[in-house]
Amino acid sequence: MSEPPETSEDDDLPYCACGHTRHHLMVSPEPEYTAWGTFWVTLMGVSAAPICIRFRCRVCKSLFDLTNDPDELRTFL
Ligand SMILES: [Zn+2]
């Protein structure tokens, strides 16, 4: 295996037409839940872990990134 180690450099992240990465102020996370998760969140008012999170730029309105990294998902509980 010659994969380079993971880094947290923004350079490696996808970005939208404006050049914003998921960490930019104008980029909003949009958590996506399973049907069952949506049921709990919307009807029961409890928190469920999203299955993935999409990132939408509020300037150009494009969805340009998503994550299903468990560590990141946990921050949206
Ligand atoms: Zn944009």
What's the gap in Å between 18 CA and the centre of ligand 1?
4
pTM exceeding the 0.85 threshold for the entire prediction: no
Distance from Cα 28 to the centre of ligand 1, integer Å: 11
Distance CA(56)–CA(60), nearest Å, equals 9
- 33 phi and psi, to 5 degrees? -110, 160
Express each pLDDT in 11-36 by its tens digit. 789 999 999 999 999 999 998 888 88
9 token code pair: 């450099």
- 54 within 8 A of 30, measured Cβ to Cβ: yes
pLDDT of residue 37: 77
Question: For 32, which DSSP code?
Answer: E
Mean pLDDT value across residues 56-77: 90
